[in-house]
Amino acid sequence: MKLIVAVIQDKDAVRLLEALIKKGYRATKLASTGGFLREGNTTVLIGVEDGETDEVLGTIRETCRPREQLVTPLTPMSGPADSYVAYPVEVVVGGATVFVLNVERYEKI
């Protein structure tokens, strides 16, 4: 058995959960916050049998696509802030960061 931990953008969460439910998978959704952009993320926990891992990863790839977004960098914590000019920068956000872990034991109580 495997535990798939997927950290995704909040914008993709509803689509991913609907796609997983449609295919018969159960998932647990947790609210989380990203460290780089400091924006809300969703962490999804999905328990699957070993042979189902590729199908779930494919569903994540289909529903959680990277996209470009303009962000304004934060003011530096040290150094002269008066010379710092914050210009919006285009960065790639979205997609998914996925961890696949072996599960030694699973119980539903």
Higher per-residue confidence, 59 vs 82 = 59
Number of domains forming the structure of the chain: 1
CATH number at residue 9: 3.30.70.120
Question: Residue 108's pLDDT is what?
Answer: 83
Residue 55 lies in a domain: yes
pLDDT for 10-34, tens place per residue?
889 999 999 999 999 999 999 987 7
> pLDDT at residue 55 above 60?
yes
Question: Residue 58's pLDDT is what?
Answer: 97
Residue 41 lies in a domain: yes
Residue 89 lies in a domain: no
CA distances from 40 to 23, 34, 74, 87, 104 (A): 26, 6, 16, 22, 31
Question: Residue 25's pLDDT is what?
Answer: 96
pLDDT (average), residues 32-52: 84
Question: Residue 81's pLDDT is what?
Answer: 57
Which residue range(s) make up the domain with 39? 2-66+94-102
Residue 11 lies in a domain: yes
Q: How does residue 38 score in pLDDT terms, banded at 50, 70 and 90? A: low
pLDDT (average), residues 7-11: 90
pLDDT for 69-107, tens place per residue?
777 666 666 656 555 557 777 776 678 999 999 999 988
Residue 1: other Cβ atoms inside 10 A: 14
Report residue 101 CA to chain centroid gap: 16
